[in-house]
């Protein structure tokens, strides 16, 4: 992985793009993929698509990730000048208080903090009690009163945590928004690698919007593109840390390689194809059991046009939906390599049928 590829992820991670407000991040993504594409375009809500026309093959394959992140929103302004909150997506109330945040106003970014009672003032008996809801929290931007605050912000302004990208030991990186800038990075990088491999199929790279609020963008763009095959990437739970709840989902390890899901939206022949390509590329993969309704863009893609063969390739991620999500660079690079190689070789595995 070269410096440009690494910088691309950092640019995505440091560009705030909460659900419904993705345009800045989508611009960063399009700028990266455009040199490899025959065409790029967006739709009315900001889903971004790059197209490589390919060769003689009639097959169309899309590589996707979602470009939005969770966050907060200004719900109201109090007479005292504090900002009351609502959630954007699955913001975690247990990590919200005492955080630096940025309010994204029409006049630019405004720094603030989520207020928290000092430990000296809290009842010791309440230390392990119920966490307050996000709607009971507030942001302090330093305004003297409500009138001053209303000069700075409007109801509906989005808010993101102000955490930075941190290089940890080895190949580990921490940041907010790994869910799912890593997926859009892998879609763009897989696209680039498929193009450079001379893919015969038409290949799309897709960065969707509003996944965190109900797979909205994937529903739109899946219907619009109508590809023959869809390969989506989102983060999945790495549970290789102390006290992790091993019984909640399939446990995965950072550094253990991409995760190929089995069941529901994951077409069995695409699962087999992904595992074969991984083996040919020397990529170790982990498996995931997907027996429920699912919560990634793949769920929307595979039913958007009456049944599109789809595969979820996951990236192990510690501490999901917190400001300190941690991933492994090697895993991410291998996800992109697997997506790109599978797209370049997709004709080898067709047709995708139910085998009945």
Residue 129 contacts residue 110 (beta carbons within 8 Å): no
- Phi–psi pair at 321, nearest 5 degrees: 65, 30
Distance CA 105, CA 109 (A): 6
DSSP assignment of 83-136 equals EEEEEESS--GGGTTT-EEEEEETTEEEEEEE----GGGS-GGGTTSPPPPGGG
Other C-beta atoms lying within 10 Å of the C-beta of residue 296: 26
Distance CA 257, CA 333 (A): 9
Helical axes 178-196 vs 23-33, angle rounded to 10°: 20
Other C-beta atoms lying within 10 Å of the C-beta of residue 5: 17
Distance CA 193, CA 338 (A): 10
Distance CA 316, CA 62 (A): 22
Torsion angle in degrees (nearest 10) through CA of 119, 87, 261, 353: 170
Residue 150 contacts residue 12 (beta carbons within 8 Å): no
Q: Please state the residue numbers annotated as binding site.
A: 66, 179, 212, 234, 321
The first and second tokens of residue 172, run together, are 């580990």
| Burial of 172 (C-beta count, 10 Å sphere; 0-12/13-18/19+) | middle
Helical axes 3-13 vs 23-33, angle rounded to 10°: 170
Q: Is 167 a catalytic residue?
A: no
| Helix H or strand E segment including 261 | strand 259-262
Torsion angle in degrees (nearest 10) through CA of 19, 25, 27, 28: -160
Q: Please state the residue numbers annotated as binding site for Zn(2+).
A: 66, 179, 212, 234, 321
Catalytic residue among 22, 60, 69, 211: 211
Q: So which residues are the catalytic ones?
A: 211
């Amino acid at each position: 992985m070269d410096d440009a590829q690494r910088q691309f992820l950092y640019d995505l991670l440091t560009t705030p793009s909460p659900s419904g407000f993705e345009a800045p991040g989508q611009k960063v993504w399009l700028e990266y993929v455009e040199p490899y594409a025959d065409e790029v375009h967006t739709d009315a809500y900001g889903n971004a698509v790059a197209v490589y026309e390919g060769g003689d093959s009639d097959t169309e394959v899309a590589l996707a990730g979602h470009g939005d992140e969770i966050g907060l929103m200004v719900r109201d302004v109090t007479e005292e000048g504090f900002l009351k909150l609502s959630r954007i997506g699955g913001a975690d109330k247990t990590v919200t208080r005492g955080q630096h945040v940025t309010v994204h106003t029409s006049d630019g970014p405004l720094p603030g903090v989520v207020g928290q009672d000092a430990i000296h003032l809290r009842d010791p008996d309440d230390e392990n009690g119920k966490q307050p809801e996000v709607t009971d929290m507030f942001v302090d931007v330093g305004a003297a009163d409500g009138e001053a605050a209303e000069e700075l912000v409007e109801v509906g302004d989005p808010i993101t945590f102000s955490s930075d990208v941190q290089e940890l030991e080895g190949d580990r990186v921490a940041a907010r928004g790994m869910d799912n800038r890593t997926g859009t990075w892998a879609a763009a990088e897989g696209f680039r690698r498929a193009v450079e491999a001379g893919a015969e199929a038409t290949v799309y790279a897709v960065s969707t919007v509003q996944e965190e609020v109900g797979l909205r963008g994937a529903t739109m763009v899946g219907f619009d593109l109508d590809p023959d095959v869809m390969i989506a990437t989102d983060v999945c739970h790495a549970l290789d840390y102390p006290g992790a709840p091993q019984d909640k989902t399939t446990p995965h390890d950072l550094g253990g390689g991409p995760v190929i899901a089995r069941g529901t939206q994951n077409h069995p022949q695409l699962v087999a194809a992904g595992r074969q390509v991984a083996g040919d590329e020397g990529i170790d993969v982990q498996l995931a059991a997907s027996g429920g309704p699912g919560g990634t863009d793949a769920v929307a893609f595979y039913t958007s046009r009456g049944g599109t063969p789809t595969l979820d390739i996951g990236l192990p991620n510690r501490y999901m939906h917190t400001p300190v999500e941690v991933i492994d660079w090697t895993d991410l690079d291998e996800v992109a390599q697997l997506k790109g190689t599978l797209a370049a070789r997709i004709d080898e595995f067709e047709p995708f049928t139910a085998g009945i």
